Structure 1
Amino acid sequence: MSWRRLWAIVVKELRQLARDRITLAMIVGIPVIQLVLFGYAINTNLRGLDAGIADQADTAGSRALVMDMLATGVIAPAAHVDTPEELVEMLRQGRISIGVAIPPDFERRRHDGRQVAQVMVDGSDNVVQSAAAQLAQVPVDSAAPDTRAPLVSTPADGPIGIVSFYNPQRRSAVNIVPGLIGVILTMTMVLFTGIAIVRERERGNMELLIATPLSSAELMVGKVLPYIGIGLVQTTVILALGRGLFAVPIQGSLLDVYLAAGLLILANLTMGLLISTRAQSQFQAMQMTFFVFLPSILLSGFMFPFAGMPGPVRWLAEALPLTHFMRLIRGIMLRGAGLAELWREVAALGAFTAVMMAAAILRFRKRLD
């Protein structure tokens, strides 16, 4: 073995890496991204969950109890309503994560040692259920006492009850399977179209496309359409297995499930097309896809609670299509909400698709260089 020839190969590889900006960015970017995400953005200790409050008693004691719950930092007041039924509807629409209901006879219940309040939890997120358990530990005796009679001992099950909607058994599969639809579609759709244009160049097919009268828009749309069917097939497979193996319910409309999946498929396909107009090789396209997939799976609320992330990270997560799809699919499948009620997420995915497709069309040029 010649050390001189070996050194020449080492120098050649280093120079090649220096010219490959994508690989160079991954060398530094991957550890930086993971360190920032896991150290700064990921937080399983939830604080500031959106909560609705229905204080039908409106006494000094009930108001003090609500203030004690807010003082824990677990919840933040998002709405004040008149009835528990309104809280249930807000939970179904995904507008709040927790509802606090205090009955009109709060003082009498407290005097008799009965349950004085009820915490309603969106059980489609198991982490939220765990955080809500802290509210049941708030001491009712700390509220302003009713001076008409002394307090009696509280019942064994506690003065504050917790009711979990949509997943009372706290089965992890019910929470995970709907999210897996989005994760798998993000991984496959972005990757498929991310290498689409690059593959045409590497196989020599781009020369044939250049000779055709196709416009850039026609070529981009034509690249997207076949993969929509593939994505819907993947959605069907996941739904069938989730139903058959794990008994995951579909509370809402099956049509809405497929429409929501279609929105995510379009968003991911257009993002993949934009990547393909930038990448110089299929390997580069896969590298760039990784930069999209890692933040998506970590920040969308699939693995870690969205409510536990700091403000700047939430803004970044709002730019990811998977974040909006998670709210859509869990709202439809687990809470029975409709697309019309979740119109903000629908609008966000539609806007993302339009921007990505326009950028891909503007960047694409029918030429070989």
Structure 2
Amino acid sequence: MSWRRLWAIVIKELRQMRRDRITLAMIVGIPVMQLVLFGYAINTNLRGLEAGISDQSNTAGSRALVMDMLATGVIAPVARADTPEELMTMLRRGRISVGIVVPPDFERRRLDGRAVAQILVDGSDNTVQGAAVQLAQVPVDNWVPDARAPMRSTPNEGRISIVGFYNPQRRSAVNIVPGLVGVILTMTMVLFTGIAIVRERERGNMELLIATPLISAELMIGKVLPYIAIGLVQTSVILALGRWLFVVPINGSLLDVYVAAVLLIMANLTLGLLISTRAQSQFQAMQMAFFIFLPSILLSGFMFPFAGMPKVAQWLAEILPLTHFLRLIRGVMLRGASLWELWVDVLALLAFIVVMMTAAILRFRKRLD
């Protein structure tokens, strides 16, 4: 054992890492990213859930009850409705997560000691149902007379009921399996195309492609198309196993599910192509893909509630295709919505595909350097 030769190898590796800017960025970037995401962006204490309110009584007491619910900070009003049916439509379309219904006979119910309000909850996200429990604890009155003993007073517990839709049993698999479709497609599709162009260079195939009349757009699109079929096979496997093993429902159109999957597949494939035009080796491509996986899984709403994140983290999540796909797949599979009702997220994925494909085509050059 020669310590001199060993030291020479150590110096050589350090110099090589210094030249590899992507590896150097990962040394610092990964711990910083994890610290920021877990410490700042991840928050299980939900605040500001988008809520719709239908106050059919519109009395001083009903308005006070609604204001007390808003004062908790759990919900933020984004819509008003005349009937509970309108709130249900908003829930199905994903416009709101919580609906507050105050019936016309609110005052009579309050005097009789009956339930005076109802909270409609989007059960496709289990964390939302947990947050709704805080709203149900808001007192209708400070104290309500007890009919059996007029001189005593009892807290008005159970006066606000919670109704969970789309997952009344609160089974985790119903919420997780649709999201797994997006997570698996993100991990595989980005990685597949992320190493596509780099692999051509490393195997010497790029020299053959340079000699052909192929233009950049033809090569990029040709790289993407075969993987769309692979992504659809993966989607079918996940849906079949989810239905067979966990009895996950598909309340909407199966065609809409596959259209949403195709949009995510294309978005991830174009992103992978852009990575491949930047990476110098397959290892670098995998490193760069890792920087996409981590924020996608943590910020998209798959693992942690989207509503609990600060605004800056939410703005960043809106750039990620997985965020929009989760809204689409849960809306279609669990809430029975159609894609035209979720058109905002469809347009977001289409815009992402166009931007990434254009950037990949512009960056690619048919040359070896």
Structure 2 length-normalised TM: 0.97
Cα deviation code 1:128-166 (max 9, x no counterpart): 000011001001114999xxxx99978997100000000
**Separation in structure 1 between the aligned mates of residue 339 and residue 116 of structure 2, nearest angstrom:** 36
Q: What residue number does 1:2 align with?
A: 2
Superposition pairs for residues 1-369 of structure 1, below 5 Å?
1-142=1-142, 158-369=158-369
Q: Report the count of equivalent residues.
A: 365
**Separation in structure 2 between the aligned mates of residue 151 and residue 35 of structure 1, nearest angstrom:** 56
Aligned to 2:341, the other structure's residue is in SS state coil
**Separation in structure 2 between the aligned mates of residue 151 and residue 226 of structure 1, nearest angstrom:** 77
Paired letter, 2:361: I
Cα deviation code 1:232-275 (max 9, x no counterpart): 00000000000000000000000000000000000000000000
Cα deviation code 1:20-57 (max 9, x no counterpart): 00000000000000000000000000000000000000
- Asked whether the 8 Å contact 1:61–1:143 carries over to 2, the reply is no
Paired letter, 1:181: V
Report how far residue 80 of structure 1 moved: 1.1
- Asked whether the 8 Å contact 1:112–1:152 carries over to 2, the reply is no
**Separation in structure 2 between the aligned mates of residue 205 and residue 333 of structure 1, nearest angstrom:** 43
Aligned to 2:54, the other structure's residue is in SS state strand
Tell me: CA distance 1:23–1:54, structure 2 relative to 1, closer, same or farther (3 Å).
Answer: same
**Separation in structure 2 between the aligned mates of residue 52 and residue 75 of structure 1, nearest angstrom:** 9
Q: Compute the RMSD of aligned alpha carbons.
A: 1.7
Aligned to 1:323, the other structure's residue is in SS state helix
- Asked whether the 8 Å contact 1:113–1:155 carries over to 2, the reply is no
- Asked whether the 8 Å contact 2:142–2:155 carries over to 1, the reply is no
Paired letter, 1:227: Y
Tell me: CA distance 1:266–1:136, structure 2 relative to 1, closer, same or farther (3 Å).
Answer: same
Paired letter, 2:159: P
- Asked whether the 8 Å contact 1:113–1:151 carries over to 2, the reply is no
- Asked whether the 8 Å contact 1:60–1:144 carries over to 2, the reply is no
The share of aligned pairs that are identical, in percent, is 82
Tell me: CA distance 1:232–1:2, structure 2 relative to 1, closer, same or farther (3 Å).
Answer: same
Aligned to 1:217, the other structure's residue is in SS state helix
Paired letter, 1:354: V
**Separation in structure 2 between the aligned mates of residue 142 and residue 210 of structure 1, nearest angstrom:** 79
Q: Give structure 1 stretches of 5+ with no counterpart.
A: none
**Separation in structure 2 between the aligned mates of residue 74 and residue 171 of structure 1, nearest angstrom:** 23
Structure 1 length-normalised TM: 0.97
**Separation in structure 1 between the aligned mates of residue 318 and residue 307 of structure 2, nearest angstrom:** 12
Tell me: CA distance 1:262–1:63, structure 2 relative to 1, closer, same or farther (3 Å).
Answer: same
Aligned to 1:340, the other structure's residue is in SS state helix
